[in-house]
Copies of this chain bind each other. A is one copy, B any other.
Amino acid sequence: MYDRRVPAEDLDLLPLARVPRQARSREKVEAALAAATDLVRTEGVEALTLPRVAEHAGLSVGAVYQYLPDRDAIIAVLVARYHARFEEVLDGVVERVRRTASAGSPDPLADLLDEVERIYAEEGVARALRAVEGSGPAAERRAHKDRMTAKVADLLVLTGLAPAGRARGVARLVFTAADGVLHEAFGLEDDERTALLRELRAMLRGYLAPAD
């Protein structure tokens, strides 16, 4: 079986055709997802077929089929997991800001961008998944954007970077613009990427300066 470690996570939250209950079944699903992630990174979206994923994971087609019956199912689960990862990062930043609010918050915007850049920089996995994203279900992309916008809005209100009445509109702009720019940045050469991310920070800082 393909033995690459995947981050612990709640398989119950993923849109699997069937939720694995036994530890052994859960390991198989995790192995299949790790193999699928590796395949999309090394060979692209085209490699995401049930037989290829099962083979790469060292599992039988039948074992994978019950949880991830076809290409669309595999893509939907990878995209959901990718989205969940970004949402967790943002939850973490919101949580830290909430805890340190009384102690005077440091720089949540920089924290957030650092973490997102770290995810994107990891072995090309995020970039590959980002490429898959467009093939995933549109409803899930919409729901993810809405959840991210709500979290960014919380962060803006907590940090005083936007008044509550305007926070949702500002958050939608910040998430949409940053998402598009990060996507673009990680297709560029190192020096161009660095320059683009520096400009993104400058723009967001100017826009999000605390109004007093």
Interface residues of A in 138-179 (CB under 8 A from B): 145, 169-170, 172-173, 176-179
Quote the shortest CB–CB distance from A169 to chain B (angstroms): 4
CB neighbours (8 Å) of A145 from chain B are 184
CB neighbours (8 Å) of A184 from chain B are 145, 172, 176
Main secondary structure on A side of the interface with B: helix
CB pair B181 A176 closer than 8 Å: yes
Copies in the complex: 2
| Interface magnitude class on chain A | 20 to 34
State A205–B157 Cα separation when bound (angstroms): 22
The yes or no answer to A104 lying at the interface (CB within 8 A) is no
CB pair B180 A200 closer than 8 Å: no
| Contact A196/B173 with A202-B207, A203-B203 known, Cβ cut-off 8 Å | yes
- Please give the residue numbers on chain A whose beta carbons come within 8 Å of chain B beta carbons, in ascending order: 134, 145, 169-170, 172-173, 176-181, 183-184, 192, 195-196, 198-200, 202-203, 206-207
A-B contact pairs, 13 of them (CB 8 A): A145-B184, A172-B184, A173-B181, A176-B180, A176-B196, A177-B177, A177-B180, A177-B200, A180-B180, A180-B181, A203-B207, A206-B207, A207-B207
